[in-house]
Amino acid sequence: MDSSNPSIPRPKARDRYAHLYMPLVTAFIILANPPIVRQLTNPSGRRYDALLCITAASVLTFAIGTYVHKPDTVPWDGVRSTRRHEAIRAAVIFTYGRWYGTEINLQFLIADWVLSFVVAQYLIGEPAKQRRSEFLVALVWLVGSGVVFRATPGDWEVTYFFTGMVDRILWRTAYIALVDDIVGVLSRPDVGTIRGRATLLLVQAFTITSLVWGALRMLRRTVEARAGRAT
């Protein structure tokens, strides 16, 4: 069957991207369930309760996604998700600091957005077409940058500033690359091989865990901030 044949109807987006949106649905259900949230945040609970919960949720997510998913009949154009529009890259960079509770600073956000594009384009050589793993490429650069930054004496103020700035931007570039890889696996899953299915399941588990962990951290910071203002 020729997937490029226009006579073959294209599956609905709901079916094509089942594995992409199902982890979001699962994370929302977990966070909307107070007993589960209390169990996940209970410091005196059993050590592996959270792991078992996420594992069970990931397997169920994979099963439902596999049932709903229908492969796309239109060949993928190869374009990375964050290169489809600069607004997508900006939105991904915006979420970076939110995981760590940093305050929103518009000047830093604009600088990170511009510099991440410059570093990725001219230092890493980020193509519009997605490579096999964008994150592994960015990770190599990140490790090298971290070594250089930590080896730079603090009294070399100018050099220390620039190496630190490059290291900061490479962290965000690696984060963008990780998002591209995750979206790539979930939106174009390889369900025809054992390795592909195992990769899909692991990526879904990682995505669900990250979303739940990040949301709980933000909730905890909000509660602590309100408590601080009240005292």
3-state secondary structure at position 129: strand
E strand or H helix that includes residue 30: helix 18-31
| Distance between CA atoms of residues 75 and 55, nearest Å | 32
Which pLDDT score is estimated for 131? 77
Q: Do 161 and 210 meet the contact criterion of CB atoms below 8 Å apart?
A: no
Q: Is the pLDDT of residue 6 over 80?
A: no
Q: Do 172 and 112 meet the contact criterion of CB atoms below 8 Å apart?
A: yes
| Distance between CA atoms of residues 204 and 54, nearest Å | 10
Q: Is the pLDDT of residue 180 over 70?
A: yes
Which pLDDT score is estimated for 119? 77
> Looking at 38-52, 128-142, 173-187, which range is the least confident one?
38-52
